[in-house]
């Protein structure tokens, strides 16, 4: 049973974008703080009323966020 929901974050032109690794959820925010709040909201909305056992997710899971940083090499 998973105790962690994984989220990948990337920076778009104007917004930070969060995508679920294990769940089909996507949200965005202008700041990382706004994005963190949106990730919590969308995760709760997606799982609300669902049987967490069907998703193999433990009650009250944590959220693990991976942040993609572009590597700019000047060769």
* Cα–Cα nearest to 8, from 69, 67, 70, 71: 67
Strands 57-67 and 26-29, by their bridges, are unpaired
Question: pTM value?
Answer: 0.82
Are 75 and 18 contacting, i.e. CB atoms less than 8 angstroms apart? no
Edge-first strand listing for the sheet containing 16-20: 26-29, 16-20, 2-11, 57-67
4-50: pLDDT as tens digits: 999 999 999 999 999 999 899 999 999 999 999 999 999 999 999 99
Distance CA 62, CA 23 (A): 14
SS3 (DSSP) at 74: coil
């Amino acid at each position: 049973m998973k105790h962690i929901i994984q989220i990948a974050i990337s920076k778009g032109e104007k917004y930070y974008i969060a995508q679920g690794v294990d769940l089909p959820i996507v949200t965005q925010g202008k700041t990382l703080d706004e994005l963190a709040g949106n990730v919590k909201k969308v995760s709760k909305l997606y799982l609300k009323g669902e049987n967490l056992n069907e998703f193999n997710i433990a009650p009250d899971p944590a959220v693990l966020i991976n942040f993609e940083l572009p590597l700019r090499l000047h060769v």
